[in-house]
Amino acid sequence: MVRKPRRVVRAGDLALGGDAPVSVQSMTKTATSDVSGTVAQIRTLEAAGCELVRVGVPDMASARALGEIRSAIGIPLAADIHFDHRLALEAIAQGVDKLRLNPGNLEDPAKVRAVVEAAGEAGVPIRVGVNSGSLPHDVRQRHGADIRTADGAGQALVESALKHIVILEDLEFDAIVVSLKSFDVPSTIRAYEIMAEQRDYPLHVGITEAGVPPAASIRSAVGIGALLARGLGDTVRVSLTADPVEEVRVAIEILRSLNLRAGGVTFISCPTCARCHTDLRPVAVEVEERLRPLDDRLRREGRDLRVAVMGCEVNGPGEAREADVGIAAGPKTAALFVRGEVVRHVPPAEMADALIAEAERVAADL
């Protein structure tokens, strides 16, 4: 899988585009004016693997809170602003690392110029982000019934985004990131394909308003995964009606599944069938949950560990043997594997404890 070359844009110390790793971002669900609550949520996101966090800025109280928030966190901060250029100017003054702002929505060219000049002087990039649910009326009319097709919707999203992009380009501003999102996966994919042929700005990819897990996680994985497999995407955001930590975990798993992210625990478990001698589901659920702290630690350290929980003697031994640490249940006992070798047999009731203990031990030696 080869990523298509994009120009590099920096949000603080985070590079987007070029050969920089695909980054993971999320958005807070708190009131941004609640500094302590917002900082607490961002720190939780950072611990889960978030590398850039966005906050909504609906009013001046929120804008004025951004400096205090930025100074209390360890990852770049993006401000999401609509319509009011004063909020954008205040956000820049408060030291944000990135703006999500569609300049065409500011209407007054003098206001647009003021924001663009301030962003340029501060080295703050601007993300132009368009969603299918908020396409301008004239764009919808121009595309007519074709907007119900993936190609038509994709063309409409790109047309809308280019209106904003050209405003920035005419002001000689090119620190631009682009997103083109729809709930509809084929339309989203088509939009990014078209945009990739027209501009080389870094692409923020995601499926908007995806809904509630697990369906929303699947929809996001299909859309984002398809784009990344095409070499498109420099930063990802999974949009879920859920705890934002879940957004980060899903995003990281998407990247891992495409070998675009190293570090952490890769967990493998048997789907079970009539050959399974043990009620494996509660064991697998317990092991995965208990491995989370280790997963977070190894991810931060860039180290990998593969752990397998298997349920029979057909595929079980092979999968368990190929993992760093694995267990394969048999008729009466389970074989515990470490780096391809059986180290002992344990009763089913001790499977989880034995596997976790070995995983911790092996991780310490990585």
**Domain 9-257 matches domain 264-364 at the CATH topology level:** no
Highest mean pLDDT among 229-238, 276-285, 289-298: 229-238
Q: Does 9-257 carry CATH code 3.20.20.20?
A: yes
pLDDT surpassing 90 at residue 318? no
CATH architecture of 264-364: 2-Layer Sandwich (3.30)
Question: pLDDT, tens digit, for every residue of 229-248?
Answer: 999 999 999 999 999 999 99
Taking alpha carbons only, the member of 273, 275, 192, 282 closest to residue 228 is 192
Q: Where are the beta strands (DSSP E) in the chain?
A: 9-11, 14-16, 23-27, 52-56, 77-80, 98-100, 126-131, 176-181, 204-205, 235-237, 264-269, 304-310, 325-329, 334-338, 341-346
Alpha-carbon separation of residue 17 from 20, 21, 204, 206 (angstroms): 6, 8, 10, 16
Which residues contact residue 224 at a Cβ distance below 8 angstroms, ignoring those fewer than 6 apart? 205, 206, 207, 233, 236, 238, 251, 254
**Where are the domains positioned within the chain?**
9-257, 264-364
Question: pLDDT, tens digit, for every residue of 202-234?
Answer: 999 999 887 899 999 999 999 999 999 999 999
Specify the pTM. 0.90
Asked if residues 322 and 313 have their Cβ atoms less than 8 Å apart, the reply is no
Give the span between the Cα atoms of 181 and 178, in whole angstroms. Answer: 10
In this predicted structure, what is the pLDDT of residue 313?
67
Give the span between the Cα atoms of 156 and 143, in whole angstroms. Answer: 7
In this predicted structure, what is the pLDDT of residue 177?
98
Question: pLDDT, tens digit, for every residue of 87-100?
Answer: 999 999 999 999 99
Which of 54-68, 272-286, 298-312 shows the lowest mean pLDDT across its residues?
A: 272-286
Residue 75, helix vs strand vs coil:
coil
Which of 24-33, 254-263, 326-335 shows the lowest mean pLDDT across its residues?
A: 326-335
